[in-house]
Amino acid sequence: MMRKILAPLLTLAALAAGAAPAHADSGWSLLNMPQGVTAMSRQIYGLHMLMFWMCTAIALVVFSVMAYSIFTFRKSRGAVPDTSMVHSTTVEIIWTLVPIAILVATAVPAATTLIKTEDLRNSQLTVRVTAYQWGWNYEYLNSGVSFFSRLDRASDAARQLGSGVDVTTIPHYLLNVDNPLVVPVGTKVRLLITANDVIHSWWVPQFGVKKDAIPGFVNEAWFNVDADKPGLYRGNCAELCGRDHGFMPIVVDARPKEDFQSWLKAEQLQQHPPEASAPASAPAAAAP
Amino acid sequence: MAQAHAPDTSHYYVPHASHWPIIGSVALFSIMLGTVTFFNGWAGPWTLVPGLALIACTFFGWFYSVVGENQQGIYNTRVDRSFRMGMMWFIFSEVMFFAAFFGALFYARVFATAWLGGRSVHIFSNLMLWPHYDGTWPTNGPGHVGGHADGTFETVPAFGLPAINTLILLTSGVTVTIAHHALRAGKRGVLALFLALTFILGFSFVALQAHEYGEAYRELGLKLSTGIYGSTFFMLTGFHGLHVTIGAIMLTVVWLRVLRGHFSPEKHFAFEAVAWYWHFVDVVWLGLFVFVYWL
Amino acid sequence: MAHNDHAATAHDHDAHDHKPHGWRRWVYATNHKDIGTMYLVFAGISFFIGGAMAMLIRLELFKPGMQFLDPQFFNSMTTMHALEMIFGAVMPAWTGLANWMIPMQVGAPDMALPRLNNFSFWILPFAFTLLLATLFVPGGGPAGGWTMYPPLMLQGGAAFPMTIFAIHMMGISSILGAINVVVTIMNLRAPGMTLLRMPLFVWTWLITAYLLIAVMPVLAGAVTMLLTDHFFGTTFFTAAGGGDPVMFQHIFWFFGHPEVYILILPAFGVVSEIIPTFSRKPLFGYEAMVYATASIAFLSFIVWAHHMFTVGMPLAGQLFFMLSTMLIAIPTGVKVFNWTATMYRGSLTFEPPMLFALSFLFLFTIGGFSGLMLAIVPADYQYQDTYFVVAHFHYVLVPGAVFAIMAAIYYWLPKWTGNMYDQTLAKWHFWLSTIFVNVLFFPQHFLGLAGMPRRIPDYAVQFTDWNMVSSLGGFAFGLTQLLFPYIVWKCVRGGARIGNRAWEGAHGLEWELPSPPPFHSWTDPPSDALIQRGAAH
Ligand code: HEA
Ligand code: HEA
Ligand code: CUA
Ligand SMILES: [Cu+2]
């Protein structure tokens, strides 16, 4: 019985030990938290693994004592109960103090990491994120650029009840949007997050950022993508927000600084043309 | 039924089958159902009537049978103690119910409105969403919800009616205590008199509250829908008023029982239960007076 | 049930007792055993209804793409599954066990307030009728999650007031039930049954009852505010009016966290009864167990915001709630260690109750560890609202609370009926449950860590494999549960008669009574000698 119960735990331990690559494609190897592409997300990952190994260690100790008792002190093996063994203040004290020590030891790194995540000073780019049922609006403060970001058409068509589409053929099914949030790498980006209707939550695992979008209030969050890791990073709305909560993904397009600047320029021109000659189609600024 | 032969108080009295609880559950269900149909606009408020009528019957019938058993003297002191404990814990649960609304009041005052006013971690909530809102209490929020046409409203000054009401309730607390002492001393006349005084004071408190509500709605622009101030004000005072009414009714019932010669100097659980309830209502009011009206 | 009542009355030596028969016996019931039985049957039904809803959830999540359910309906399944299981299955099951056992264990003739007891029970069927009826009203059932966060909850249609009034009724029911338990324990203990001689099931239930009386009214207040915000224009949870949607979360979790301990404390009690019995050795550190329970209950009032680490609380708040939450590991640890020490140098046998208790011991601890990981705020930014959380709470709720309930029933069923049940079948029930509950919930850890959010009807394709495993485990676990009512039914019908003491190592007053016990348990209080013999420490 022991083995049966411990088996899954041990597999997890074993598998996590060979820390599965964050963006592994095969489902079976998706077992652990991604390390992510920001200093913060890596710290969080470290904290997560610290807790994981600590718990595994304690579990191994506690479970092996249990297992030992279960196997050794069986009536069938003629074990006679030691009914005099009813309490012992010393052991009670020991197994109160040891856990306290362990917890203090973990609380320290946890607290320091937490304080870092809450440090929003000197950010270099600020984006206002407004969630609505069911999509996102991104507004680059004092650059006049803003646009909506929703589930891409392919996924949206495929996810309809009985659409008959084989969703495995859809690239990044449910994790793709029409207009991703574009940010520069190696830059401290601050998000000012709010919502129009109900509570949503902006979450990109690779950044270790999750903040609720609360109507009537503005929450702050920040991330700083490694300069050497441009790319597309995907996440979901992480707070139940009604019918299509499962269908409001987030995609962040992290680009080298100069690419980002040129993109921003282009967007500005497109959304606020110098003359009245506004281009008919403004894909990036597609209305909701 | 056990009541038939001479009551045996050596054993803890375990009542035999009773139909009142199930009738009570049905009544409760009918009330809820009625409210739902009304709130969902499926029918008018009359849908509440059957439930309320039935619950009234339940209370009457249930307590009537309990009082009957009690008068036959089949309740030993242990049963009596069960009733007391039960009542105390029931009152405690009531306290926690009010705690939820006091909690809402404190949270709204200390955190929510302050944050909307841009304090603590929420500067941007103020700058981006609610500029020019300072979040000072009393408030109906940055959106100036409810109130007069221009979104303003006044509050009920603590040292007008509310102060008088405080006096009324405190006095009623004294009168009920005097009544209790009279009961213990077997002075039935004094008992009846001061008990009557108590529920008269109680009902006049309710009357004055009703008057105050009228003014709030007509002159002050202070309504249930007047932002967070109106919400907390009316929910707290409203639920309290409801409890005063219930308490006053219970006092009246006890008074009628006194007139019928119920209660002995030693055993008078119902009286004490109602007295406790009355003191609880009293204390809640003090909290209201200080945190809702005064500060 | 009909057969059970036959069993319960068989040995009815209670002279001055003419109890009604037929339907009146149940509808007008004032007897703690009859009411306990009704609670347990009700809990069983709710467990199957809530479980069937879970099966629909697992069915839709078997593979990516929307197969069967409309998203809104899926959300209402999630919501009602939770409400059914928590308020309909686990809480009534514990109250049923309290009804059956507490009077027997403290040497009382019955519950202290029998009519109130009947009232508390009969509110429930009506409450759940109201809740389930929402499935048939325009707009469908409540779909805001069992946490009912505004503003989403306020978007609810006709189901909205029905859900809230259903919750009001459940609240009234459990408050009155809890009052009854407290009064019974405090006032009806036999002379000589001192507080520190009480069995731990009684202790844990006493503390649970205090928790219930303290927090159910707070839930009532919270949902009442939702109601007035929706219908009467109050603005408790609307920023424009000076309110705050997050305020609801604070009030809800002030109830919600103690609630989860309400679900688990009686389980601790049951396990503390069963492990000593089958270790043939007194519970190790009885007093420490009592104090640990009390401190868990106390701490449960100051940790609520650990459910809200992503709402943007001030740093100080996050730190406080992280640390206070971690503290709970200590008294809980004390319990785990004491149970282990009880088995150490014991003489163990593995009848079904013991097997379920052991399974609880391992799997609850695993659930507790994941809970501790969730308490670490920065890490919780990644875990929050993912399947990692779903895995956590199912480990503490299913192999935690539910297994403990099954252990309790397998432990006391022979006492209730006078018959021994089919132990081989019960062991099958145990092994299949224990294996499949892990197949069902362990992969959900992986899914959550890999980034699968909870409360979604459809998911990205890379989550397919583990979801399939979880669903298969779910179906298997579900089917396994069908054994349970069969085993119980068979035992009620008949079986090997047992004496007063169903288990060799069993201690406690309930085992001094005949099996099945008389209609009124201890019309004459047990002698001090009996109590001494019962209190095995
Ligand atoms: C029976 C119910 C139950 C129990 C007992 C617990 C127990 C615990 N829970 Fe859990 N929890 C839930 C039910 C429960 N929980 C539910 C239902 C939710 C989700 C609600 C929702 O959102 O829908 C939830 C969610 C939840 C969250 C929020 C997650 C999120 O939404 O982001 C957190 C965060 O801190 C948490 C923490 C804990 C902790 C620290 C414990 C501790 O009590 C665990 C203590 C036990 C141990 C630690 C193991 C034994 C100890 C030892 C062997 C000693 C040595 C150990 C150490 C020193 C580490 N729980
Ligand atoms: C005590 C509480 C309790 C219990 C016992 C369970 C038991 C189960 N739970 Fe539940 N669950 C919760 C409390 C509980 N849950 C809560 C609080 C939530 C959060 C809700 C929210 O997010 O708001 C939740 C959410 C939840 C989810 C996430 C839904 C989502 O996020 O969208 C899932 C998904 O797998 C799930 C699955 C299960 C399963 C498979 C079981 C199984 O253990 C059930 C097994 C029982 C049966 C199956 C019934 C018996 C058998 C039959 C009815 C016969 C028919 C069977 C077949 C045809 C196979 N639960
Ligand atoms: Cu938006 Cu969930
Ligand atoms: Cu909690």
Render pLDDT for B104-129 as a digit per residue (tens, 0 to 9).
999 999 999 999 998 877 888 888 89
| Facing A44 at nearest CB: one of C348, C361, C379 | C379
- Residue A23: pLDDT above 50? no
Q: Encoding tokens for residue A91?
A: 């052991």
CA C274, C278, C284, C289: dihedral to nearest 10 degrees?
A: -10
Alpha-carbon span A218 to A130, nearest angstrom: 9
ipTM of the complex: 0.93
DSSP state of C189: P
Alpha-carbon span B115 to B281, nearest angstrom: 33
For A136, the enclosing helix (H) or strand (E) is strand A135-140
| Facing C233 at nearest CB: one of B16, B146, B232 | B146
Residue type, C421: Y
How many residues in chain C?
A: 537
Alpha-carbon span C404 to C357, nearest angstrom: 6
Spatial CA neighbour of C446 closest among A170, A58, A171, A13: A13
Measured in Å, residue C54 CA sits from the centre of ligand 2 at 4
Interface test with A, best of B124, B126, B133, B228 (most A CBs within 10 A): B124
| B125/A128 touch (CB, cutoff 8 Å), yes or no | no
Question: CB-based contact (8 Å) between B139 and chain C?
Answer: yes
How many Cβ pairs within 8 Å bridge chains B and C?
237
- Residue B28: pLDDT above 50? yes
Q: Encoding tokens for residue C516?
A: 């099945």
- A107 touches C323 (CB < 8 A): yes
- Residue C11: pLDDT above 90? no
| Facing C435 at nearest CB: one of A4, A216, A245 | A4
The Cα of A215 is separated from the nearest Cα of chain B by a number of Å equal to: 10
Ligand lying closest to the C-alpha of residue A195: 3
Chain A contact set for B129 (CB, 8 A): 194, 216-218
Alpha helices in C482-527 (DSSP H): 483-493
- A211 touches A201 (CB < 8 A): yes
Each residue of C183-207: b (16+ CB within 10 Å) or e? bbbbbbbbebbeeebbbbbbbbbbb
On the 0-12 / 13-18 / 19+ scale of CB atoms within 10 A, C23 is: exposed
Residue recorded with tokens 């895995």: C391
Mean pLDDT of B166-174: 95
Alpha-carbon span B258 to B73, nearest angstrom: 17
| Crossing angle of helices C91-106 and C403-417, rounded to 10° | 40
Q: What are phi and psi of B84, to 5 degrees?
A: -60, -50
- Average pLDDT value over all residues in chain C: 92
pLDDT at A25: 55
pLDDT at A227: 93
- B72 HSE (CA, 13 A, CB side): 15
pLDDT at B160: 87
- Residue C12: pLDDT above 60? no
Chain C contact set for A8 (CB, 8 A): 438, 442
Task: Output C407 or B157, whichever has higher pLDDT.
Answer: C407
Each residue of B86-99: b (16+ CB within 10 Å) or e? bbebbebbbbbbbb
Q: Ligand 1 pocket: which of C322, C393, C397, C402 to mutate (most atoms <8 Å of CB)?
A: C393
Annotated catalytic residues of C are 81, 110, 146, 173-174, 257, 259, 261, 272, 306-307, 332, 335, 454
How many residues in chain B?
A: 295
pLDDT at A162: 82
For C229, the enclosing helix (H) or strand (E) is helix C200-231
Alpha-carbon separation of residue C420 from C33, C38, C244, C426 (angstroms): 18, 21, 56, 11
Q: What are phi and psi of A278, to 5 degrees?
A: -75, 135
User: Facing residues of A222 across strands?
Assistant: A190
pLDDT at C18: 58
On the 0-12 / 13-18 / 19+ scale of CB atoms within 10 A, B260 is: exposed
Alpha-carbon span C405 to C425, nearest angstrom: 17
Q: Is the CB of C57 inside a 6 Å radius of any atom of ligand 2?
A: yes
pLDDT at A283: 44
- A136 touches A213 (CB < 8 A): no
Query: What does B78-112 look like in DSSP terms, one character per residue?
Result: HHHHHHHHHHHHHHHHHHHHHHHHHHHHHHIIIII
Q: Is the CB of A150 inside a 6 Å radius of any atom of ligand 3?
A: no
pLDDT at A19: 43
- Residue A278: pLDDT above 80? no
Each residue of C135-167: b (16+ CB within 10 Å) or e? eebeebbbbbbbbbbbbbbbbbbbbbbbbbbbb
| A209/C312 touch (CB, cutoff 8 Å), yes or no | no
- A34 HSE (CA, 13 A, CB side): 21
pLDDT band, residue B7 (cuts 50/70/90): low
Spatial CA neighbour of C318 closest among B104, A194, A117, A240: A117
Residue type, B177: T
> How far does chain B reach from its first CA to its final CA, in angstroms?
58
pLDDT in tens, C265-281: 999 999 999 999 999 99
Alpha-carbon span C255 to C258, nearest angstrom: 6
pLDDT at B6: 52
Residue type, C409: I
Q: What are phi and psi of C279, to 5 degrees?
A: -100, -5
Mean pLDDT of C137-156: 93
Mean pLDDT of A82-111: 91
| Facing C329 at nearest CB: one of A74, A99, A118 | A99
pLDDT at A6: 45
Ligand lying closest to the C-alpha of residue C403: 2
Question: CB-based contact (8 Å) between A31 and chain B?
Answer: no
| Facing A220 at nearest CB: one of B116, B124, B130 | B124
| C217/B99 touch (CB, cutoff 8 Å), yes or no | yes
- C271 touches C360 (CB < 8 A): yes
- Residue B175: pLDDT above 70? yes
Mean pLDDT of C111-125: 95
- Residue A275: pLDDT above 80? no
Mean pLDDT of B266-275: 92
Spatial CA neighbour of B201 closest among B175, B222, B238: B175
Contacts of C184 (CB under 8 A, 6+ apart): C102, C103, C106, C108, C111, C112
Mean pLDDT of B216-231: 93
Interface test with B, best of C123, C235, C251, C255 (most B CBs within 10 A): C235
pLDDT at B243: 96
Measured in Å, residue C389 CA sits from the centre of ligand 4 at 11
Chain A contact set for C459 (CB, 8 A): 174, 246
- Average pLDDT value over all residues in chain B: 91
- Residue C160: pLDDT above 90? yes
pLDDT band, residue C260 (cuts 50/70/90): very high
Most confident of A81-85, A234-238, C29-33: A234-238
Q: What are phi and psi of C482, to 5 degrees?
A: -65, -25
pLDDT at B12: 83
Alpha-carbon span B196 to B51, nearest angstrom: 30
Q: Is the CB of C263 inside a 6 Å radius of any atom of ligand 1?
A: yes
pLDDT at C530: 84
Ligand 2 atom closest to residue C147's alpha carbon, by position in its atom list: 23
Question: A125-271 maps to which CATH number?
Answer: 2.60.40.420
- C99 HSE (CA, 13 A, CB side): 31
Mean pLDDT of A69-74: 92
pLDDT in tens, B37-56: 999 989 888 999 999 999 99
pLDDT at C337: 95
Mean pLDDT of C472-488: 96
Ligand 1 atom closest to residue A100's alpha carbon, by position in its atom list: 58
Chain A contact set for C462 (CB, 8 A): 25-27, 30
Chain B contact set for C175 (CB, 8 A): 90, 93
Q: Is the CB of C466 inside a 6 Å radius of any atom of ligand 2?
A: no
Contacts of B170 (CB under 8 A, 6+ apart): B282
Q: What angle do CA C63, C64, C66 make, to 5 degrees?
A: 105
Measured in Å, residue C235 CA sits from the centre of ligand 3 at 23
Q: Is the CB of C38 inside a 6 Å radius of any atom of ligand 1?
A: no
pLDDT at C19: 64
Query: What does chain B look like in DSSP terms, one character per residue?
Result: -TTSSPP-TTSPP-----SHHHHHHHHHHHHHHHHHHHHTTSS-GGGHHHHHHHHHHHHHHHHHHHHHHHHTT---HHHHHHHHHHHHHHHHHHHHHHHHHHHHHHHIIIIIHHHHTT-TT-HHIIIIISTT---PSS--TTTT-SSSTTS------TTTHHHHHHHHHHHHHHHHHHHHHHHHTT-HHHHHHHHHHHHHHHHHHHHHHHHHHHHIIIII---TTSHHHHHHHHHHHHHHHHHHHHHHHHHHHHHHHHHTT---SS--HHHHHHHHHHHHHHHHHHHHIIIIII-
Chain C contact set for B36 (CB, 8 A): 130, 161-162, 165
Q: Report the percent of chain B where pLDDT is more than 90.
A: 68
Residue A144: how many other CB atoms lie within 10 Å: 12
| B129/A192 touch (CB, cutoff 8 Å), yes or no | no
pLDDT at A199: 97
Measured in Å, residue C329 CA sits from the centre of ligand 1 at 9
Residue type, A212: D
- Residue C172: pLDDT above 90? yes
Q: Is the peptide bond before C516 cis (omega within 30 degrees of 0)?
A: yes
Measured in Å, residue A105 CA sits from the centre of ligand 1 at 19
Q: What are phi and psi of C30, to 5 degrees?
A: -130, 10
Q: Is the CB of C81 inside a 6 Å radius of any atom of ligand 2?
A: yes
Interface test with B, best of C187, C219, C250, C309 (most B CBs within 10 A): C187
DSSP state of A204: E
| B108/C179 touch (CB, cutoff 8 Å), yes or no | no
- Residue C294: pLDDT above 50? yes
- Residue C308: pLDDT above 50? yes
